[in-house]
A and B are shown apart, each in its own frame.
Chain A
Amino acid sequence: MPTFTFTLNGSLTTVTSPADRPLLWVLRDTLGVTGPKYGCGVGVCKACTSHLDGSAFNPCITPVDECAGRDVTTIEGLADGDTLHPVQQAWIDEDVAQCGFCQPGQIMAAAALLARNPAPTDADIDAIDNVCRCGTYFRIRSAIHRAAGR
C-alpha cells in the first residue's frame, strides 16, 4: 500500500493508505484526529471542514493522495498553543455552540473566510453553506463579525 506524507497541524505526518481513501477516515480512523466530524460523507453538511494550504476543504470528499506534500489544518491545529484563534475566541464570546457537533467545521469555514476577506459582509457570510441543525446561524454571524473587528 502506498504512503503519503503531509503536514498535519504543523507536524510532518506519513500514513500508509489506499490513494483514494477520503482524508476524513485517514484522520479519524488511522490518526485518531477526531475534530473533523462525519455528517454526510458527500461534502454537503461540511461538518468536517478543515484547511488545505489555508483554504477550507472537506476531507470527506478529498482523497488522501490529493493532500500529499500539502498543509492540512484541522480544528485541533487552529489555536496557537493555549492561545485561541480569534475566531475560536469570538465563538466563546458569542456563546455560539449548542450541541457543538458542527462547530469545528463552522469555525474552520469562518477562519478561512476571514483569511481571504478580513471584513466580510452579510452576503459574504451567507455563502458559508455548513449545516447547523441546532440553528446557531445567527450567533455564528455575530461571531464572524466580532472576529473581523478584532
Chain B
Amino acid sequence: MSVTPDEARDAHAARGESPSPSVVPGISRRRFLAYLVAAPLLTVVVKAVDDTLLPLADRAEAALGVSNVVDLSDALTLAALPTAYLLKIEITPEGRAVVHVPRAEVGQGITTAMGIVAAEELDAGLDVVDVVLDDARPELLWNQLTGGSNSVHSLYTPMRTVAAAARARLVTAAARRFGVDARGLVTRDATVVAPDGRTATYGSLSAEAAQITTPDVPPTPKDPSRFTLIGQPTTRLDARDIVTGKAEYALDLPIAGAPTVVARAPTIGGTWRAVDDSTARTMPGVLGIARIPSGVAVTAATFDQAQAARDALRITWDPGPNAGLSDAQIRSQLRAAAPPFVVPPLGSLSVSREFDFAFAPHAPLEVLTCVADVRPDSAEVWYGAKSPIIASQSVAAAIGLPPDRVTLHVVRSGGSFGHRLFFEPAIEAALVSKALGRPVKLMWTRNDDMRHGRMRPASHHKVRATCLLGNVISYDHRHATLPVDFSHGLGEALSAAGFNVLSPGVTQTVFALTQSVPYDFGVATQTLTDVPLAFPTGSWRSIYSGQTATVNEVMVDEIARALKVDPVAFRRKKLSSARTRVVLDQVTSVGQWGRPMPAGTAQGVAIHEEYKSVVAYLVEIDCRDQTHPRVTKGVCAVDVGRAVNPRGLEAQVQGVLTDALSVTLHAGLHIDNGAVREGSYSDYRFARMADSPLEIDVVVMPPNGDPGGAGELGFPAAAAAVANAYARATGATPFSFPIAD
C-alpha cells in the first residue's frame, strides 16, 4: 500500500477559533495530515505531526504537579502524535461511509460521537455512517488506549480532518465528471450537487475520487458556526440493535467456541497446589480440563456443564499473599502510611479530618469474557479490550507465538469503568484454547468477577486546612492507598510523551498529572503514598480523583462549616476558575439552593475540574429513613468545551450519579482473610431503580472551545455532593465510604 502525503494544514487555525484557555501553547499548533490511500475506492487516513512535541514534553515534565497546565488528557494526546495513521474513512460503492476508530466501545458512546463528527464534515446523514472498532494495531504503539476520558478529546480534530479531506476529493471528482468548477459545488446528504441541478452520490463518486491526489477545493473542516450535527442531541447509532437484542458481545458472536469456566482460589491471588480432576473428567459434556496459572479451566458443551464439572474438581489451594489480611489490618496499614501532621497549625483555626474508602469493584454487567482460537501457527482473539495492543502482545507471549501471528478483534463490551484496560481473560482463553486444541468461549462468573476482578483500592486520607481571618492559608492532603496497577500501556504512553514514569513511578506521575486543588487555598500540597499489598487493583472511573477530589469537596463543606459560611458562597469566593463558578451558579440556580426542606432531607453541592472540562452537581437526599437514605433529585451543569453529542453527555453525567451514590452510600467490598466477602449484586449493593433519583436535570453549557472529556468527569463531584447532602441532612459528616458498612 502506498500513501501520498498531499496536504498539511494547521487544523486549529483553519477553524478560525482561538484555543481554549486550558490548552497548552504548542498543542494548538498540532497539525493533522490527511493522506489518500492508493485503493480502488476512496480511502483517506489521517495522521498527526507536531514539531513542538519535544519542547512541549520538556515543559510538561517540568510542570508536574500543576495538573491544570498539562493534565493526563494532554499527556495521552501528546503520546498519540508521532504514530501511524489514526483514523480511516472509506466510501463504499453503496455510499456507506465506513469509519475506522482505534478505540473501544464500552457504553460511553464513542462510536456515536465519532459517527457524528465524520458525518458532519462529510455532509452525510448519520444513517450512512458505519463506525468500526479497529483490531489491535501494533503500529499505533501506545495510541490505542481507551482511557482517561480522552477519546473524543484526542480524536475530534483528526476525525474532522480526515472527513473533510474525503469530502474535498468527492467534490473534485464530481466537478471533473460534470466539467464544472469544483468551487461552485455543494454537498448534502452524501451527494454532490451542481448549480445546474445535476447530482452525484458519494457512492457513485468513490472510485473516481480515489484518483484525486490534489483536491480542487480546500480540504478544510467547517467553521463551527456551520455545524448541523455536532452539538445536536443525537440518539445512539446502535440503539435499535440494542433494544432488539441484535447487539453482539463476545459470547454472542457466532463462533463455535466451547464454553469454558475457571475454578479459582477462594482467596485473592491463591494458586492450585494439587488437582484431582478424576470426577470432573467424567461429568456430562466435558470436553477438556486445562491447568493454567490462575486456576483450573473446564471446557464443556454448555456453560452449565462446564460449571458443574468445575464444581466437581477437587483442588488443594495455596492461599496466596494475602491470607490472614482483613479490612481492619489493611485499614490500619493505610492509616499508618499516611503521615500524621506533626507541625502545629500556623493559624488560629485548623480543620483536620480523616477519611476511609472501601475497595470497590468495577462490576460491569457483562462479566469478563473472551473468545480465543489458537492454532499451531496463529491465533485469533475476540475481546472487549481498551488496551488491545498490549493485550495482543501479552497473549502472544503467553502462548509462545510471534506477536504478528496474533489477531485481536476489539468487540463491543457490556461496561468497563476501567476494568477492560486489563486482559486476564484473553490470556486465559488463549492458554486454554492452545492446551485443548480448540476454540473456546471463556467466561468469568459473577463470583469470579467480584472475588478476583480488579478493584479501586481502599484508601485512607488525612487532610488539614489551616485558616486565618476567614481564608485558607494552607491545605494538605495525604492520600494512602494500594498501588494502582497501570501495567496496561498507560505507563508506556506517558513515557512516549516524555514523562519519566520510572522515577518517581507511574502512580506518582498519574497522581501528579490528575490532582490539583481548584481553590485559592494558599499553599496546597497533595501527596500519594502507596502501600504495596498484593491486590488486583486498577483504574476505576476517574482514577485517583474518585477519592482525592471527592474528599477535597467534602472538606470544602467542612471548612465552610468551621468558618460558619454557606458552602456555595464559600466555593464562589475561593474557586480559582471562573468557568467552574459558572457551572456552580447554574446548579444552585436551577436546583434552588437553600430552598426550605423538611428535617432529615437536605441539598448538597460539589464541583470538579478535569479532562479540560468542569462540572457541578447539586443533589437532594432524603435521610428520614436512616437505613435507606435516598437521593431524590440531581442537578448537573457540565461544560466540556463543546459537546459533540449533548444527549450522550447527559447520559454520562446521569449515569455517573448512579455510580457515585452507590459507592458513597451502600456499595463496597469487604476483605476477610484474604478473600472478598461479596459474591454478586445481592451483597454488593449497587443501586437499583428504587435507589435512583426521580428527577435529574442536566444543563449542558454552550460550546466555547474544543471538546474535553466527559466519561469520568462527573464522579468526584457527584459523590461529594451526595456526601455533603447526607451531612447536611443528618448533621453527621460521613468519613468512611460507603456510609452503610
Contacts and interface: CB of A to CB of B under 8 A. Distances in A.
Contacts of A79: 244
Nearest to B304: A25
Interface in B60-108: 106-108
Contact of A95 (B241, B647, B689): B647
A134 B284 contact: no
B417 to A, nearest CB: 8
Contact of B415 (A78, A128, A134): A134
Given A34-B252, A40-B681, A98-B109, A88 B243 contact: yes
A99 B302 contact: no
B243 A136 contact: no
Given A107-B243, A126-B690, A131 B365 contact: yes
B368 to A, nearest CB: 12
B299 interface: no
A79 to B, nearest CB: 6
Contacts of B688: 128-131, 137
Given A47-B365, A102-B365, A129-B689, A92 B240 contact: yes
Contacts of A28: 251, 303
Contact of A98 (B108, B240, B657): B108
A75 interface: yes
Interface string A91-116: 11101011111111001000000000
A135 B647 contact: no
B446 A98 contact: no
Interface string B431-445: 000000000000101
Contacts of B654: 135-136, 138-139
A32 interface: yes
B651 A139 contact: yes
A135 B365 contact: no
Query: Which secondary structure dominates chain B's binding surface?
Result: loop
Interface residues of B, number: 63
A111 to B, nearest CB: 11
A141 B692 contact: yes
A97 B239 contact: yes
Given A95-B651, A101-B366, A21 B304 contact: yes
Interface in B205-254: 235-236, 238-245, 247-249, 251-252, 254
Interface string B635-660: 00000000000011001001111110
Contacts of A92: 235, 239-240, 243
B680 A135 contact: no
Contacts of A38: 251, 303, 367, 443
B245 A35 contact: yes
Contact of A39 (B304, B446, B647, B693): B446
Interface in B232-281: 235-236, 238-245, 247-249, 251-252, 254, 259
A74 B694 CA distance: 29
A81 B108 CA distance: 29
A77 B659 CA distance: 32
A44 interface: yes
B191 interface: no
Contacts of B247: 100
A39 B366 contact: yes
Interface string B300-328: 01111001000000000000000000000
Please classify how large the interface on chain A is, using the bins under 10, 10 to 19, 20 to 34, 35 or more: 35 or more
B236 to A, nearest CB: 6
A133 B687 CA distance: 8
A132 B680 contact: no
A122 interface: yes
A142 to B, nearest CB: 10
Contacts of B301: 29
Interface in B91-129: 106-109
Contacts of A127: 689-690
Contacts of B138: none
A25 B366 contact: no
Contacts of B108: 98
Interface string A63-80: 000000000001110110
26 contacts: A21-B302, A22-B304, A29-B301, A29-B304, A34-B248, A39-B366, A40-B446, A42-B680, A44-B681, A88-B243, A92-B240, A97-B107, A98-B107, A99-B364, A100-B107, A100-B242, A128-B689, A135-B656, A135-B662, A136-B658, A137-B658, A137-B689, A138-B654, A138-B693, A139-B654, A141-B689
Given A18-B284, A99-B106, A137-B689, 17 more contacts: A21-B304, A39-B681, A45-B681, A75-B245, A79-B244, A84-B244, A91-B243, A95-B236, A95-B647, A97-B238, A98-B109, A99-B107, A99-B366, A99-B415, A131-B688, A137-B658, A141-B689
Nearest first, the 8 A-B pairs at minimum CB distance are A135-B658, A99-B107, A101-B414, A35-B245, A137-B692, A75-B245, A135-B655, A100-B242
Interface of B: 106-109, 235-236, 238-245, 247-249, 251-252, 254, 259, 284, 301-304, 307, 363-367, 412-415, 417, 443, 445-446, 647-648, 651, 654-659, 662, 680-682, 686-694, 696
Interface of A: 18, 21-22, 25, 28-30, 32, 34-35, 37-42, 44-45, 47, 74-76, 78-79, 84, 88, 91-93, 95, 97-104, 107, 122, 125-141
